[in-house]
């Protein structure tokens, strides 16, 4: 360690006191550090290696050449050194036939280059620093570039460090992919695969998906890596195989293992110049790991390491923890030897892994031979996903579940990995790709030159293996016929596949379509695509349905669906009476419809299911239609759910649950009984099956409310106006000259706040002379405490005292020059900094929340929108405008106002509402849940109502006299709640509210 640090300190020291030869020697010594493993692999770190005629490489190791300079601070030195390094890299690449990496360094700066079309392009760089951390960082960077270490155990930490998005290895591979794609994206075959990839992800992810090059390339890198890892898992030396073999799966086919690796959207790299070299280099980097020691969740770790967290969040991609997948499978799969299990949204394959392991364990206990167990497993556990990357990862996960020992056993027999790319929900057509007795595959959007469809008589799907062979033969023969006059399948093929006379014409039409696609350079994907997307249709047949559905369906909110998806979702939801109403449309989620569709399509008459879902499914009113258990021509009987929302840290961005049920002759509504899980979640990569010592599971119930249960006050309360961004409206007095301002006007400037966020925090304050009638007092959430208004701020608002809202784009506003000038400048700033089509006026008066406040009533009740406890007060000032951080309602009398304020400020109210609240980080949205309580309308003849009103009036008077040392509204609220808890009147009020609510 000391020697390593000494060398590094010399390398980073000032180059003025060092020669290139000394730096070169120290670089070589640093490369021999045991962490890089060069000595273990017997790789020589050669100085002054001969290259070409009378030229010498400073340092050569493996497939990397290193050029050392005294300093890289000069642009001219950099340019000359890069040119020299390019010569070495190109020469070595020609001589050895392997892809070389070039590195420039002066000991302080380390720059790695990759070669594209004879030119070196920078891929990644590292600035060395002294000390233990600096040495570790440089060694990590070098190891990723050199890729010389072997036998690395593929733990989550090592995967992230050596292959993740922050590694030098990833930087080199991704930079190469970018160059390959940039030079070849115009090719028809590359365009086709990109288009189909985009189409599938639009269906899977809705508007959350952004079709950009970077994501396509990240997915290409991930899938290519997964397919190479599949070889390495079984002990195949991927570094010695031709690149085409690695991405086509030919090695697996020869070994009788089918469906592991296939020609998919991401093998376009084999069809472009330089692509084979990229695959070979990638294989060399992946071969550094000892994949025989792999952990089962390695593909999930790889995905999360490569795709940034921000991207995964934007796409809504969150994987189920392994321990939870294990627990769900254990609960749902009760007879693994006889039940057929399907995960219709399998993701990276966590549920498949444990379902396969459960089957194999049961087979071993039953004394079943390995040959029989391996023959049966692919018909017992299956997966489907619409995400092409997920399918590739899940196939490798399936291999991991089977295990290297079983797969390499001599009596293993043939086996097909049953993980398919497909649309489980059936978005495209009403009959799930079936049209008048045919499976229909669209091949070209908007192509009018020849038919755009492939049509297969649906009975050909009866035998899945035979259909797969037919499709493969069609694609192969049509490709060979592209340069001939052959326009139909061969007679030998028709006889061999026993094609009936009635099907020949349709198949020959497909033959011609595929031939034309081949001639257009768009024929390289259809075998893979057709065989996969047809599988859901095959599984939906009565003879092929499964006994258990299990998994984590897509959580996709209605607001994130594309417009086409929204239309179909709404239609399908209404047909099942799932659609709640337009006001809660944005809360509607795909998960429920997905479960219903997969139950309808894939589950046998008495089959069961278990799905991880958003927690709202089990207790929110807008899920009532789903919970009824009446799907389209199918009924289900729900059984008690698992409530996971109290597990910390949270498993997903939203609270979660697991719902269970089975198909039944009669529908059974989801029961309110639950199994409540609480405590600390196991570590993300904890071994599944271990005792869950940090979690408790106790029976409980959930409170489910309906529209009929809501208080009569629910529709009377409304949000205030959206007075945001505050910097454009909230004002304070501004200094004037001795001349002052005209009567009826005021000099104001923007009132700034430390809580402002970008971009508004960066804009300069507005100043102006504005007519007084347009400077309105307004109360915000921070101005409300229990039984007390704490003050108000002033806002410039384009609203007259009669309630007319003035548009800054209309000439009418020019009657008030001060207001017009202010609003137009504010509107300009809004247009410059906001995103979206909404104008500034539409923003502050969204849903008419500003103008509906006028004419202002004499008595209003207001309560806070945020916080764990409601704060409510009576507002009597008829000049005050209410902000969206508050709810308000007009009341007919002071007694009714006191009655409502007394109930809303009662400590008991929070406890009563808590079971009805949404659950994210903690219970939240008390403001939306309070009226789920059956709070009765005020009745002046009801003594209990009058008692609450009287006590609330007394408390209002008492609290008005209180003085507080702190001006912070949160502290004031806390102090008032403490006062209420000790106050005699406060205690009486709480008892009265408890009595009212029962």
Residues of the chain with pLDDT under 70: 1-2, 14-17, 37-44, 48-49, 51-54, 203-208, 295-296, 310, 312-317, 427-437, 444-452, 464-465, 482-483, 521-524, 583-586, 705-708, 915-927
Domain count, the chain: 5
What b/e sequence results for 884-922 when a residue is b if at least 16 CB atoms lie within 10 Å of its CB, and e otherwise? bbbbbbbbeeebbbbbbbbbbbbbbbbebbebbbbbeee
Answer yes or no: is 864 within a domain: yes
Tokens of 147: 């890729």
What does DSSP say about strands 673-680 and 635-648: parallel, antiparallel, or unpaired?
parallel
- Please report where in the chains the tokens 């304020």 appear, as a residue: 901
Tokens of 545: 């349905």
The residues with which 101 forms a beta bridge, in sequence order, are: 64, 114
As to burial, measured by CB atoms within 10 angstroms (0-12 exposed, 13-18 middle, 19+ buried), residue 58 is: buried
Answer yes or no: is 635 within a domain: yes
Answer yes or no: is 156 within a domain: no
Pair (524, 600) in one structural domain: no
What does each C-alpha distance from 817 to 729, 803, 809, 844 come to in angstroms?
16, 19, 13, 20
Answer yes or no: is 172 within a domain: no
The residues with which 434 forms a beta bridge, in sequence order, are: 439
**In this structure, are residues 287 and 239 in contact, taking their beta carbons and an 8 Å threshold?**
yes
Residues near 160 by beta carbon (within 8 Å), at least 6 away in sequence: 301, 305
Pair (125, 82) in one structural domain: yes
Tokens of 305: 């390491």
For 477-531, the pLDDT digits (tens) are 887 776 677 888 888 888 888 888 888 888 888 888 888 877 776 665 777 777 7
What angle (nearest 5°) sits at the alpha carbon of residue 652, between those of residues 651 and 655?
A: 90
Enclosing domain of residue 582: 543-704
For residue 78, count other CB atoms closer than 10 A to its CB. Answer: 17
Pair (234, 354) in one structural domain: yes
Tokens of 425: 């929900």
Can you state the percent helix, strand and coil of the chain, rounding each to 5?
Answer: 50, 20, 35
Q: What is the model's pLDDT at position 465?
A: 66
User: How many Å apart are CA 125 and CA 115, to the nearest integer?
Assistant: 15
Pair (560, 651) in one structural domain: yes
The CATH number of whichever domain residue 16 belongs to comes to: 3.90.1570.30
Pair (350, 464) in one structural domain: no
Pair (893, 753) in one structural domain: yes
Q: What is the model's pLDDT at position 42?
A: 47
User: How many Å apart are CA 393 and CA 302, to the nearest integer?
Assistant: 9
What does each C-alpha distance from 553 to 372, 424, 639 come to in angstroms?
32, 10, 18
- Please report where in the chains the tokens 């990995």 appear, as a residue: 417
* Bond preceding residue 452 cis, omega within 30 of 0: no
User: How many Å apart are CA 442 and CA 428, to the nearest integer?
Assistant: 10
**In this structure, are residues 193 and 363 in contact, taking their beta carbons and an 8 Å threshold?**
no
Check the CA dihedral 467-473-474-475 and report its sign.
Answer: positive
Pair (908, 942) in one structural domain: yes
Give me the long-range contacts of 230-235 (CB less than 8 A, separation at least 24). Answer: 230/260, 230/261, 230/395, 230/396, 230/399, 231/261, 232/286, 232/287, 232/289, 232/291, 233/291, 233/292, 233/294, 233/396, 233/399, 233/400, 233/404, 234/399, 234/404, 234/407, 234/408, 235/292, 235/404, 235/408
Give the predicted TM-score (pTM) of the model. 0.76
Tokens of 402: 């089977």
Q: What is the model's pLDDT at position 60?
A: 85
Pair (83, 52) in one structural domain: yes
Q: What is the largest CA-CA distance in the chain?
A: 109
Pair (128, 214) in one structural domain: no
Answer yes or no: is 134 within a domain: yes
For 229-260, the pLDDT digits (tens) are 999 988 899 989 999 999 988 888 888 888 88
Residue finishing a domain among 533, 564, 588: 533
Give me the long-range contacts of 803-806 (CB less than 8 A, separation at least 24). Answer: 803/851, 803/853, 803/854, 803/855, 804/851, 805/841, 805/845, 805/850, 805/851
User: How many Å apart are CA 875 and CA 880, to the nearest integer?
Assistant: 9
Tokens of 23: 């730096």
User: How many Å apart are CA 404 and CA 691, to the nearest integer?
Assistant: 27
Answer yes or no: is 466 within a domain: yes
User: How many Å apart are CA 384 and CA 201, to the nearest integer?
Assistant: 14
- Please report where in the chains the tokens 């009418």 appear, as a residue: 812
Pair (697, 722) in one structural domain: no
CA 945 distance to own-chain centroid: 49
**In this structure, are residues 246 and 283 in contact, taking their beta carbons and an 8 Å threshold?**
yes
Pair (506, 595) in one structural domain: no
Three-state secondary structure readout of 646-707: EEECCCCCCCEEEEEEEEECCCECCCCEEEEEEEECCCCCCCCCCCCCCEEEEEEECCCCCH
For 434-483, the pLDDT digits (tens) are 455 677 777 764 443 344 688 888 788 777 667 777 887 887 788 777 66
Backbone angles phi, psi at 651, to 5 degrees: -75, -30
Answer yes or no: is 168 within a domain: no
- Angle at which helix 156-163 crosses helix 131-146, to 10 degrees, equals 70
Check the CA dihedral 982-988-994-997 and report its sign.
Answer: negative
Tokens of 502: 């009635």
What does each C-alpha distance from 679 to 645, 652, 694 come to in angstroms?
10, 15, 6
> Residue 666: which of 632, 638, 636 has the closest Cα?
636
Answer yes or no: is 866 within a domain: yes
406: left (phi over 0), alpha (psi -120 to 50) or beta: alpha
What does DSSP say about strands 784-785 and 788-789: parallel, antiparallel, or unpaired?
antiparallel
Pair (415, 278) in one structural domain: yes
* Bond preceding residue 565 cis, omega within 30 of 0: no
């Amino acid at each position: 360690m000391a020697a390593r640090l000494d060398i590094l300190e010399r390398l980073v020291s000032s180059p003025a006191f060092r020669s290139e030869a000394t730096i070169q020697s120290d670089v070589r010594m640093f490369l021999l550090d045991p962490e890089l493993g060069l000595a273990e692999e017997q790789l020589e770190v050669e100085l002054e290696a001969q290259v070409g005629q009378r030229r010498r490489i400073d340092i050569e190791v493996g497939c990397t050449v290193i050029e050392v300079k005294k300093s890289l601070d000069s642009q001219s030195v950099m340019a000359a050194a890069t040119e020299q390094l390019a010569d070495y890299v190109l020469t070595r690449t020609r001589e050895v036939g392997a892809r070389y990496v070039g590195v420039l360094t002066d000991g302080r700066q380390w720059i790695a280059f990759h070669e594209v079309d004879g030119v070196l392009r920078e891929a990644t760089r590292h600035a060395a620093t002294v000390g233990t951390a600096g040495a570790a960082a440089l060694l990590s960077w070098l190891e990723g570039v050199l890729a010389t270490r072997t036998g690395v155990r593929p733990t989550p930490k090592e995967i992230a460090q050596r292959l993740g998005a922050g590694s030098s290895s990833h930087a080199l591979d991704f930079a190469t992919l970018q160059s390959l794609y940039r030079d070849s994206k115009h090719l028809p075959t590359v365009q086709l695969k990109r288009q189909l990839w985009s189409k599938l992800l639009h269906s899977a992810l809705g508007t959350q998906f952004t079709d950009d090059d970077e994501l396509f390339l990240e997915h290409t890198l991930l899938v290519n890596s997964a397919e190479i890892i599949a070889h390495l898992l079984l002990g195949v030396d991927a570094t010695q195989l031709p690149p085409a073999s690695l991405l086509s799966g030919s090695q697996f086919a020869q070994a009788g293992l089918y469906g592991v690796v296939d020609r998919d959207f991401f093998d376009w790299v084999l069809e472009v110049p330089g692509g084979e070299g990229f695959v070979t280099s990638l294989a060399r980097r992946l071969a550094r790991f000892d994949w025989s020691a792999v952990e089962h969740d390695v593909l999930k770790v790889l995905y999360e390491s490569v795709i940034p967290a921000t991207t995964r969040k934007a796409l809504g991609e969150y994987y189920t923890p392994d321990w939870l997948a294990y627990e769900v499978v254990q609960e749902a799969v009760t007879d693994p030897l006889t039940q057929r299990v399907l995960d219709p949204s399998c993701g990276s394959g966590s549920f498949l892994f444990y379902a396969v392991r459960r089957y194999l364990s049961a087979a071993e206990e039953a004394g079943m031979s390995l040959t029989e167990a391996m023959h049966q497993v692919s018909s017992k556990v299956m997966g489907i996903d619409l995400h092409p990357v997920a399918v590739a990862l899940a196939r490798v996960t399936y291999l991991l579940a089977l295990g290297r020992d079983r797969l390499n056993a001599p009596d293993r027999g043939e086996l097909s990995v049953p993980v398919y790319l497909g649309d489980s929900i059936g978005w495209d057509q009403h009959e799930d790709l079936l049209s008048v007795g045919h499976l229909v595959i669209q091949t070209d959007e908007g192509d009018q030159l020849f038919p755009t469809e492939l049509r297969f008589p649906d009975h050909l799907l009866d035998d899945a293996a035979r259909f797969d062979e037919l499709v493969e033969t069609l694609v192969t023969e049509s490709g060979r016929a592209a340069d001939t006059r052959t326009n139909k399948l061969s007679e030998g093929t028709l006889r061999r596949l026993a094609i009936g006379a009635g099907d020949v014409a349709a198949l020959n039409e497909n033959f011609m379509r595929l031939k034309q696609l081949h001639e257009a350079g768009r024929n390289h994907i259809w075998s893979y695509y057709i065989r996969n997307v047809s599988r859901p249709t095959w599984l939906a047949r009565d003879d092929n349905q499964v006994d258990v559905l299990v998994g984590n369906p897509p959580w996709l909110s209605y607001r994130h669906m594309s417009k086409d998806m929204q239309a179909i979702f709404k239609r399908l939801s209404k047909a099942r009476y799932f659609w709640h109403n337009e006001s809660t449309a944005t809360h509607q989620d795909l998960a429920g419809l997905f479960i219903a569709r997969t139950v309808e399509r894939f589950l046998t008459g008495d089959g069961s299911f278990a799905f991880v879902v958003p927690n709202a499914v089990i207790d929110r009113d807008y899920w009532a239609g789903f919970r009824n258990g009446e799907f389209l021509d199918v009924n289900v009987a729900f059984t008690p759910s698992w409530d996971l929302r109290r597990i910390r840290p949270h498993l997903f961005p939203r609270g979660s649950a697991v719902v269970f049920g089975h198909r039944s002759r009669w529908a059974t509504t989801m029961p309110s009984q639950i199994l409540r899980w609480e405590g600390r979640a196991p570590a993300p990569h904890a071994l599944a099956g271990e005792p869950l010592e940090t979690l408790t599971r106790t029976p409980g119930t959930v409170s489910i409310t309906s529209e009929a249960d809501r208080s009569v006050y629910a529709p009377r309360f409304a949000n205030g106006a959206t007075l945001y961004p505050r910097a454009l409206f909230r004002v304070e007095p501004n200094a004037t000259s001795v001349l002052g301002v005209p009567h009826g006007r005021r000099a104001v400037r923007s009132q700034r706040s430390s809580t402002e966020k970008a971009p508004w925090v960066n804009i300069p304050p507005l100043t102006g002379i504005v007519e007084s009638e347009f400077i309105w007092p307004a109360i915000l959430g921070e101005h409300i405490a229990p039984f007390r208004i704490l003050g108000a701020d002033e806002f410039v608002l384009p609203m007259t005292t009669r309630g007319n809202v003035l548009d800054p784009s209309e000439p009418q506003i020019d009657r008030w020059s001060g207001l017009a000038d202010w609003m137009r400048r504010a509107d300009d700033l809004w247009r410059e900094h906001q995103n979206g089509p909404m104008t500034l006026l539409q923003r502050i008066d969204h849903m008419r929340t500003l103008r509906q406040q006028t004419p202002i009533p004499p008595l209003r009740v207001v309560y806070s929108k945020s916080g764990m406890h409601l704060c409510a007060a009576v507002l009597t000032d008829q000049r005050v405008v209410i902000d969206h951080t508050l709810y308000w309602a007009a009341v007919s009398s002071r007694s009714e106002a006191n009655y409502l304020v007394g109930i809303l400020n009662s400590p008991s109210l929070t406890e009563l509402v808590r079971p009805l609240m949404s659950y994210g980080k903690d219970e939240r949205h008390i403001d939306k849940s309070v009226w789920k309580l059956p709070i009765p309308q005020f009745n002046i003849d009801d003594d209990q109502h009058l008692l609450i009103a009287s006590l609330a009036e007394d408390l209002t008077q008492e609290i008005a006299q209180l003085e507080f040392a702190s001006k912070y509204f949160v502290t004031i609220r806390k102090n008032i709640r403490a006062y209420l808890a000790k106050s005699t009147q406060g205690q009486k009020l709480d008892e009265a509210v408890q009595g009212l609510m029962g």
